[in-house]
Amino acid sequence: MLNTTIMLLIAAPILFSLLFVALPKSLYKILAWAFFIVGTVLSIMLVLDGTGKVEVAGSSFATFESIVLILEALIILYVLYVSAKHKNWPTLGLIVISAALAAYTFTSVPKVESASFNIDQLSQVMILIVNIIGTAIILFATGYMNHYEEHRHLNRQKTFYFTMSFFLAAMNGLVMVDTLGWLFLFWEITTLCSFVLISYNQDEEGINNGFRALALNLVGGITFAGAIILLGTKFDIVTLSGIGTSATAAAVALPVVLLCIAGFAKSAQMPFQSWLLGAMVAPTPVSALLHSSTMVNAGVFLIVKLVPAFAGTSLGTAIAIYGSFTFVMCSALALSQRNAKRVLAYSTIANLGLIIASAGIGTPLAVAAAIMLILFHAISKALLFLCIGEIEHTIGSRDIEDMSGLIKKAPLLTVLTSLGMISMLLPPFGVLLTKWVSMEVASSNPIVSVFLILGSALTTVYYVKWLGTILSSSMDKNAVLHPKLETYFPLSFLGACIVVTSILVFTIYDYFIKPQVAILLNIAPTVTGQGGQFTSEIGAFAYALIFIVLALAILIYLATKNMFTPRPAGYYMCGENNLEKDKLMFRNGLCSYDKSSVSNIYLQNTFGENKLTTLGYVISLLLIVIAFAAGGGVL
């Protein structure tokens, strides 16, 4: 039963990607709905099938293995071709190195006799994220792409849907497979899909940013390949789970560091963050799918899987410090940004840093926090990115300052966006619960603690000013609403997911997270969930209480609303707003009229990109070197 579901999870998205190519544009909406339903059903089936390992051996293994080799060769050839065509020498150099490593692996590393899929609770969570959120995003795209292409005079939707669906297949493979060689193939496919989609617009900016993503991810790919060679030749380890259960965990520290670097690159951690920021030129569904809720999760997925190899060692501490540093640095950078997509991009990098920091701390509770944050962050970030896409269509801008008064222009959209933001920074929602857990577990390490505390304050600041801006009322109404089912259904669905997962947080913890931590570390965190409280040995998060009080607040408001009859009035402008047509007009010193305009504080002189990026590069590179040293020190 399990092996059928696994095969279906990889085959179904490939089938859909071919259908998108074969069928005309008019059928895309139906296809996307079907894909959403199939993806949801399949991922739930996988969860119901339970956990376990599936071996692929014998003749079917030989067939699959040759397919893998052919695909790997094709990827290398394709990248060689495009980088030569666009004369992108760094990428060309990196792919030549990759090709050399692949050839070396093929000739010198001992061959495996079989491959295996390993379904544990983390894979289940990832499959749910990829197949439910991912297909919801594709559904959103069907309501989005026509308008997008119309503006830019493009007609590449076949490529778009093919790559998006194919990416889901690769991602499904990536989170289920245990054999490192196959994992590497899926890893490289996601890199390639990302390149194709970032350069979607086919303009200079798109292609340059695409190549940057490709090059930086190839660096990660090279360290990944190096780790496979080291593990295969020196330690005779060919599976991901083999690294964790290896009796000599200390001995494999060097390949583990290499794999972690691959994870850092994929998760766009500093100093690799520039590719994710550049990726924001792609259409919004791409940003939502690849660069916030799924592909970047592959990096942290790998690192969480490696937890047994570094939990409690100095390498783990180095990783925790590195992750928390990225968290605070990118939160500060997000504060200085006006472009909503860049704010979200930095916020994504920061949250992935937090996941890595939690994984690095390596106590059972910390690892639980890391896995929960992967889930909650994916839902909230997908919602936020899609909302930005829809806001851009509505007001024609992605500048935060232009979003003031959105509540009057597009109320439902604003409420959903607000829900996404609030879920990122306030209790009782899941992301904050995990942030709370990480802060409590980080208290064992002063540096990580201080970084998390500062980063958390910065996070509050950049979301609150944005939240206030979209909820503020303003008098101008230049908005074109596109209330389509394909766009608003995924948004509302993701919004509902945030609320439901936050209410069911303990059920999710009990079903998925606790057994997974037990697999990784052989002990489960001592957490109880009675009375709507998430209680650990050092504290308690009363999420049910807050939900109840929130409901109470809404009831009180509704009850008292009509006790005092509201009397609408204009702004108070010190008596200077005596122009009838615009209530925000001021009379200035020259007795003519100026419109008052107010913008948020961005502190660009302190936290601007030109101030912090170099510092971030230096310190993050230093921390990676320290991680290497820590890995070597264990040797």
Partner 1 sequence: MNSLDIVKIVLVLIGAPILGCLIAGIDRKLTSRLQGRVGPPLLQPYYDVMKLFQKDNMIVNPSQNFYVVLYVVFVILSLLMLVFKMDILMIIFVYTISSVALIVGGMSTGSPYARIGSSREIMAILSYEPILILYALAIYLLTGTFNLSALDNASSPLLFYTPLIFISMLFVMNIKFKKSPFDYSTSHHAHQELVKGMLTEYSGPGLAGIEIGHFFEYVFLLALMFLFWNVNIVMGLLLAVIAFLFVIIMDNITARIYWQWMLKVSWTILLVISVVNILFLYVTQVKIV
Residues that bind partner 1 (CB under 8 A): 404-405, 407, 425-427, 432, 436, 439-440, 443, 446, 449-450, 453-454, 456-458, 460-461, 464-465, 467-469, 471-475, 537-542, 545-546, 549, 552-553, 556-557, 560-561, 563-574, 584, 596-598, 600-601
Kindly tell me which of 288 and 403 has the beta carbon lying closer to partner 1: 403
C-alpha 422/C-alpha 407 separation (Å) is 15
Kindly tell me which of 601 and 635 has the beta carbon lying closer to partner 1: 601
Residue 611 CB, shortest distance to partner 1, in Å, is: 14
Torsion angle of C-alpha atoms 545, 547, 551, 554, degrees rounded to 10: 110
Kindly tell me which of 59 and 560 has the beta carbon lying closer to partner 1: 560
Residue 369 CB, shortest distance to partner 1, in Å, is: 13
Kindly tell me which of 23 and 585 has the beta carbon lying closer to partner 1: 585
Token readout for 591 is 């007795």
Residue 469 CB, shortest distance to partner 1, in Å, is: 7
Residue 439 CB, shortest distance to partner 1, in Å, is: 6
C-alpha 179/C-alpha 114 separation (Å) is 9
Q: How far apart are the first and last CA of the chain?
A: 43
Residues 6+ apart with CB under 8 A from 75: 185, 188, 189, 192
C-alpha 134/C-alpha 289 separation (Å) is 6
Residue 409 CB, shortest distance to partner 1, in Å, is: 13
Identity of the amino acid at 372 = M
Kindly tell me which of 45 and 546 has the beta carbon lying closer to partner 1: 546
Kindly tell me which of 185 and 384 has the beta carbon lying closer to partner 1: 384
- Cα atoms in the Cβ-side hemisphere of radius 13 Å centred on 392: 19
Residues 6+ apart with CB under 8 A from 592: none
Residues in the chain: 635
Do 256 and 310 form a contact (C-beta atoms < 8 A)? yes
Kindly tell me which of 26 and 560 has the beta carbon lying closer to partner 1: 560
Eight-state DSSP code of residue 167: H
Kindly tell me which of 199 and 417 has the beta carbon lying closer to partner 1: 417
C-alpha 163/C-alpha 535 separation (Å) is 43
Residues 6+ apart with CB under 8 A from 561: none
C-alpha 383/C-alpha 498 separation (Å) is 9
Kindly tell me which of 489 and 593 has the beta carbon lying closer to partner 1: 593
C-alpha 624/C-alpha 291 separation (Å) is 23
Residue 317 CB, shortest distance to partner 1, in Å, is: 14
Residue 352 CB, shortest distance to partner 1, in Å, is: 22
Residue 396 CB, shortest distance to partner 1, in Å, is: 20
Number of Cβ atoms within 10 Å of the Cβ of 574: 8
Do 409 and 417 form a contact (C-beta atoms < 8 A)? no
Four-residue CA torsion sign, 363, 184, 345, 145: negative
Eight-state DSSP code of residue 53: E
Residue 585 CB, shortest distance to partner 1, in Å, is: 11
Kindly tell me which of 138 and 433 has the beta carbon lying closer to partner 1: 433
Number of Cβ atoms within 10 Å of the Cβ of 632: 12
Residue 530 CB, shortest distance to partner 1, in Å, is: 14
Residue 456 CB, shortest distance to partner 1, in Å, is: 7
Residue 390 CB, shortest distance to partner 1, in Å, is: 21
Number of Cβ atoms within 10 Å of the Cβ of 397: 13
C-alpha 375/C-alpha 371 separation (Å) is 7
Residue 544 CB, shortest distance to partner 1, in Å, is: 12
Strands (E), 57-206: 115-119
Kindly tell me which of 143 and 428 has the beta carbon lying closer to partner 1: 428
Identity of the amino acid at 331 = S
Q: Which residues pair with 339 in a beta bridge?
A: 399
Q: Which residues pair with 53 in a beta bridge?
A: 118
Kindly tell me which of 227 and 343 has the beta carbon lying closer to partner 1: 343
Eight-state DSSP code of residue 510: I
Eight-state DSSP code of residue 201: G
Residue 546 CB, shortest distance to partner 1, in Å, is: 7
Kindly tell me which of 563 and 635 has the beta carbon lying closer to partner 1: 563
Kindly tell me which of 76 and 426 has the beta carbon lying closer to partner 1: 426
Kindly tell me which of 247 and 601 has the beta carbon lying closer to partner 1: 601
Eight-state DSSP code of residue 111: P
C-alpha 440/C-alpha 593 separation (Å) is 54
Token readout for 478 is 């230049």
Kindly tell me which of 226 and 455 has the beta carbon lying closer to partner 1: 455
C-alpha 238/C-alpha 219 separation (Å) is 21
Identity of the amino acid at 503 = I
Q: Which residues pair with 293 in a beta bridge?
A: none
Residue 398 CB, shortest distance to partner 1, in Å, is: 19
Look at residues 6, 187, 202, 203 and name the one whose alpha carbon lies nearest to residue 98: 187
Residue 399 CB, shortest distance to partner 1, in Å, is: 16
C-alpha 189/C-alpha 71 separation (Å) is 9
Query: Residue 238 phi/psi, 5° resolution?
Result: -120, 0
